[in-house]
Amino acid sequence: MLRVAVVGSGPSGVYTAQSLVQQHDVPDVRVDVLDRLPCPYGLVRYGVAPDHEKIKSLQGNLRTVLEEDRVRFLGNVEVGGPELGPERLLELYHAVVYCVGAARDRRLDVPGEDLPGVSAATDFVSWYSAHPDAADGGFALDGVRSAVVIGAGNVAVDVTRMLARGEDELRPTDMPEPALGALAGSGVRDVRMVARRGPAQGKFTTKELRELGTLPGVAISVDPAELALDPAFADPAALPAVNRRNVEVLRAWAGAGPDPALPRRITLRFFLRPVELLAGPDGRVGAVRFERTLAEPDGRVRGTGAYEDIEAQLVLRAVGYKGVPLPGLPFDAASGTVPHAAGRVLRDGAPAPGEYVAGWIKRGPTGVIGTNRPCAKETAGSLLADAALLAARPVAPDPLAALRAAGLRPVEWGGWLSIESAERSLGRSLGRGSVKIPDWQGLLAAAEQPA
Ligand code: NAP
């Protein structure tokens, strides 16, 4: 038997488990999928926006893997803490695959970034996704008329859309009551998503961008003169397909102009880089100062020394994620990833026997969920190729007993099913569908109940 621990139950972890058990070259591979949270699915549960039911439904595919006979989900198990580090894991398992993602948000490093009213988009996402580590109290949106979202990736698009959505669209989702109340009752009328480069360099995918134009009651505003600052705008034919399609969507919006009769507006701005966040009279953020940029031939931009202040009582920075080091594992701070060769962790440049990585901690925070499939497959392939050597090393006979003996209280699959059942009951009591439990205590208590 080859006993493997996969650390992280997001898409990269589950696809790795799948590649390890759904193959015929190495018999009897057993996989424990460990997660710090009592709930599985990582960013599919806690990152995909609640109104994206179709992407959320991927949970069904991930569930099928976690319900395989040779796969076991063990939630509420933190790796990297004092009880369970990489060294100890290698005493319990023949191999360990780290699929821990990229847990931190990037910062802007400009003055005023810590003013009240300025947050990482990832914190906003954690709040409406009911992540149990989301800050207590969440986001109060009273008094917010205008919001600025900095960045032009899919996270920026997600939070822009969530800010512009109305109650009828939010109520059917599984978002917790306080977030639903705050978003549905908010007075946000203007959301400006601001990119430091041009329309041809947006990182968003076309489907996500186009969706902004379909929101009920929301006008889309794009200034054709600002789009035209991009040399590729006049003739996007030579751009890669996704960028060309993005430019075409923006061009159509610019041509149509915003509908003034609609109550809310999303404005897409380009060639503006944030240089300072300015306080309003109440000490909270009141505006963002941007510098106008110009395109360079290599796709980068340079500042022009011309500035524009955009009003905002809420500012969300959506400028990407960053990997964080896991104590005991090597880490390349520049890329925010673990050094590896085809998924084999490198210690001092040489493959470390039994240690592997997959997902964002391996390749950085890029790509869509499906990108994790080939990534996981490559890592699983390396591990299976090493299987004979790995299986020769003796390991503890019962890792679950060893985890319990170390003081950990793993939530097994039955516990997760109980959480799901409690979330359905909570939803029923509120006259809604399933509603997520937002706190550690509630999740762990639900896990103890019969499903
Ligand atoms: P991202 O795609 O890397 O986008 C980050 C954005 O922030 C870029 O527009 C970048 O501009 C900008 N930026 C970086 N530093 C900046 C600064 N100092 N000032 C101003 N702008 C700055 O990151 P993300 O949106 O966090 O998404 C992460 C990954 O998750 C992506 O692969 C994304 O596709 C995926 N995701 C997918 C979905 C979906 O499929 N629905 C939803 C959410 C996330 P530059 O290009 O100029 O650097």
Determine the average pLDDT of the residues in 17-44: 97
Residue 355 has pLDDT above 90, yes or no: yes
Determine the average pLDDT of the residues in 424-431: 98
396 alpha carbon – ligand 1 mean position (Å): 42
Going along the chain from its start, the domains and CATH numbers come out as 2-103+323-411 (3.40.50.720), 106-320 (3.50.50.60)
Q: Ligand 1 test: best mutation among 161, 162, 196, 272, most atoms within 8 Å of CB?
A: 196
Structure tokens at 403: 């985890």
Residue bearing the CA closest to ligand 1, atom 31 = 366
Residue bearing the CA closest to ligand 1, atom 23 = 320
Contact 77, 34 (CB under 8 A): yes
220 alpha carbon – ligand 1 mean position (Å): 21
For the CA of 319, the closest atom of ligand 1 is: 7
Instruction: Name the 3-class secondary structure at 91.
Output: helix
For the CA of 156, the closest atom of ligand 1 is: 25
153 alpha carbon – ligand 1 mean position (Å): 3
Rounded-to-integer distance, Cα 265 and Cα 190, Å = 5
Determine the average pLDDT of the residues in 46-53: 96
Residue 358 has pLDDT above 90, yes or no: yes
Position 234 scores a pLDDT of 85
Position 389 scores a pLDDT of 97
154 alpha carbon – ligand 1 mean position (Å): 6
365 alpha carbon – ligand 1 mean position (Å): 9
Residue 298 has pLDDT above 90, yes or no: no
Position 398 scores a pLDDT of 92
Angle at 73 between CA 70 and CA 76, to 5 degrees: 155
Strands (E), 285-397: 285-295, 301-311, 314-317, 321-322, 340-341, 344-347, 350-357
Structure tokens at 193: 């998503």
62 alpha carbon – ligand 1 mean position (Å): 25
Token look-up 């090597």 returns: 330
Give ligand 1 pocket residues (Cβ under 6 A): 108, 150-156, 158, 195-197, 201, 203, 205, 208, 273-274, 318-321, 365-368
Position 450 scores a pLDDT of 86
Q: What is the pLDDT of residues 79-137, one digit of tens each?
A: 998 889 999 999 999 999 999 999 899 999 999 999 999 999 999 999 999 999 998 88
pLDDT, mean over the chain: 96
Position 391 scores a pLDDT of 97
Which residue type sits at 32?
Answer: D
Q: What is the pLDDT of residues 248-283, one digit of tens each?
A: 999 999 999 999 999 999 999 999 999 999 999 999
412 alpha carbon – ligand 1 mean position (Å): 34
For the CA of 155, the closest atom of ligand 1 is: 25
In this prediction the pTM is: 0.96
For the CA of 110, the closest atom of ligand 1 is: 18
For the CA of 105, the closest atom of ligand 1 is: 26
CA–CA distances in Å: residue 81 to residues 12, 36, 76, 84, 325: 22, 10, 12, 6, 12
Which residue type sits at 112?
Answer: G
313 alpha carbon – ligand 1 mean position (Å): 22
Rounded-to-integer distance, Cα 183 and Cα 181, Å = 6
Q: What is the DSSP string of 137-185?
A: T----TT--EEEEE--SHHHHHHHHHHH--HHHHTTS---HHHHHHHHT
Position 136 scores a pLDDT of 82
Position 175 scores a pLDDT of 97
Describe the strand order of the beta sheet including 71-74 as a list of residue ranges: 71-74, 29-34, 2-7, 95-98, 350-357, 344-347, 340-341
Position 135 scores a pLDDT of 84
